[in-house]
Amino acid sequence: MAEKIQAIRGMNDILPDTSHQWLFFEHTVREWLKDYGYKNIRTPIVEDTRLFVRSIGEATDIVEKEMYTFTDSLNGDSLTLRPEGTASCLRAALQHNLLYKQTQRLWYIGPMFRHERPQKGRYRQFHQIGAEALGFSGPDVDAEIVIMLADLWQRLGLTPYLQLQINTLGSSEERAAHRQALIAYLEQHQEALDEDGKRRLYTNPLRVLDSKTPSMQAICEQAPRLLDYLGDASRQHYDEWRQMISDANIPYVENPRLVRGLDYYNLSVFEWVTQELGAQGTVCGGGRYDGLIEQLGGQSIPAVGFAMGVERLMLLLGEKNLLPAADVPDWFVIHQGEGTARYALRVAQQLRQAGLRVVQHMGEASFKSQMKKADASGAYGAVIIGANEVAEHNVVLKPLHGGLPQQTAAFAEVATAARTLLQQIQAQKETD
Ligand code: ATP
Ligand code: MG
């Protein structure tokens, strides 16, 4: 036998037993984004490697070690499977002039790729849903984004399990002054830094503070705080943002060590974190990136956005039993005997045109085995068609739940009868 080929490690299939849950989630999210005036944008999965290096930053985990980068063997170009969505979104907005004298609220969904060690909530192909508000300087839009995310958690039933953490990263000048002080401080404590800490000391000292290493916690806590280096404008932006979040009655905690894993952020940053998923507890992160559009060759245009990890949210929704049961057909059509397949196709289509969900048995089998399949499908009822029904131009409608009696319906009335009976079965099932 030929060897069976497996999926790539860390890249998952989403199988029919769970895909309906993904569809439910995506549907909820699409409706939600529509309610806030966001428009969908779809960009390629592969981009010029320089796009990510220039936007995400050379000294970040993503660019240093997580990108799937390869050479296009036809022309030698360096290409990368997108590790996140913001860079591509802005590239497209600039390339197609979407930011000329106008603002944009954009959203995307799709797979992202990072070469990480696969574990619960961390994969090599994973999915993000993200949004970018382009051309708004905030803090009102920063608040709107937090408010809209809180609304999504409400719609999904996740509010009790998520905590909002916020911080401000100030301006690049303020970060530069703080950075100097921070490097000087960390140099005095070099012996206590772990490998990542030592490596990042000069390249990305802010990220050192984000370390999860227990022995470094005390040093990180006493490090110079960026908050103390903020000027009036940054401070005011932060104060107003917090005020608007409070106005919306959204609880939050300030986390002065929250820096995010990408270099392009300034001012407002935030994460939604859960305690329920172990180490992979951040389900959504975002913030302001006013310098990024210029960095990518556009004009100086303020921007703010977020991205959520779909797999982590699905894990959380699953753990909390907040996902819908599998879709079941309303009716399962079974048939046996000469000419019944043709008749059954017509009946089934009649029912679908009346808005019912119908699955029809295909091929020949005994009524008994078809009935088992009807039961296994979870359908509310079976439509039974034998030679008699064809001859008399009717069908038998047999409820599969709720203990109601079966009935015969004429072909011309089958849709009305099936709809009425379905309602009765559903009502009966609910009281069972
Ligand atoms: P982490 O600190 O967990 O590595 P990150 O800071 O790298 O996350 P972002 O780049 O901000 O993550 O991506 C936004 C969201 O995408 C994360 O909050 C998380 O929910 C999800 N995410 C990121 N990387 C992965 C991954 N490898 N597998 C699954 N989800 C991921
Ligand atoms: Mg990461």
| Nearest ligand, CA 286 | 1
What's residue 259's pLDDT? 81
Q: Of all protein residues, whose CA lies closest to atom 29 belonging to ligand 1?
A: 122
What's residue 352's pLDDT? 98
The Å distance, Cα 240 to ligand 2 centre, comes to 29
Q: Of all protein residues, whose CA lies closest to atom 25 belonging to ligand 1?
A: 122
- Name the residue of 81, 120, 280, 310 whose CB sits within 8 Å of the most ligand 1 atoms, as the mutation to test its pocket: 280
What's residue 218's pLDDT? 87
**Ligand 1: nearest atom to the Cα of 62:** 7
Q: Of all protein residues, whose CA lies closest to atom 5 belonging to ligand 1?
A: 261
Average pLDDT of adjacent 10-residue blocks, the chain of 432 residues: 94 96 98 98 97 89 93 96 97 96 97 96 97 96 98 98 96 90 91 87 84 85 90 97 98 89 84 94 96 93 97 98 95 96 98 98 96 97 97 97 95 97 92 74
**Ligand 1: nearest atom to the Cα of 306:** 14
The Å distance, Cα 308 to ligand 2 centre, comes to 12
| Nearest ligand, CA 279 | 1
| Nearest ligand, CA 262 | 1
What's residue 261's pLDDT? 66
The ligand 1 site (C-beta within 6 Å) comprises: 84, 114, 116, 121-123, 126, 128, 261, 280, 282-285, 307, 309, 311-312
SS3 readout for the chain: CCCCCCCCCCECCCCHHHHHHHHHHHHHHHHHHHHCCCEECCCCCEEEHHHHHHHHCCCCHHHHHHCEEEECCCCCCEEEECCCCHHHHHHHHHHCCCCCCCCEEEEEEEEEECCCCCECCECCEEEEEEEEEECCCCCHHHHHHHHHHHHHHHHHCCHHHCEEEEEECCCHHHHHHHHHHHHHHHHHCHHHCCHHHHHHHHHCHHHHCCCCCHHHHHHHHHCCCHHHHCCHHHHHHHHHHHHHHHHCCCCCEECCCCCCCCCCCEEEEEEEECCCCCCCCEEEEEEECCCHHHHCCCCCCCEEEEEEEHHHHHHHHHHCCCCCCCCCCCEEEEECCCCHHHHHHHHHHHHHHCCCCEEECCCCCCHHHHHHHHHHHCCCEEEEECHHHHHHCEEEEEECCCCCCCEEEEHHHHHHHHHHHHHHHHHHHHHC
The Å distance, Cα 307 to ligand 1 centre, comes to 8
**Ligand 1: nearest atom to the Cα of 116:** 27
- Name the residue of 282, 311, 313, 317 whose CB sits within 8 Å of the most ligand 1 atoms, as the mutation to test its pocket: 282
What's residue 191's pLDDT? 87
Digit-coded pLDDT (tens) for 118-164? 999 999 999 999 999 999 998 999 999 999 999 999 999 999 999 99
The Å distance, Cα 402 to ligand 1 centre, comes to 46
**Ligand 1: nearest atom to the Cα of 280:** 3
The Å distance, Cα 113 to ligand 2 centre, comes to 11
- Name the residue of 64, 117, 126 whose CB sits within 8 Å of the most ligand 1 atoms, as the mutation to test its pocket: 126
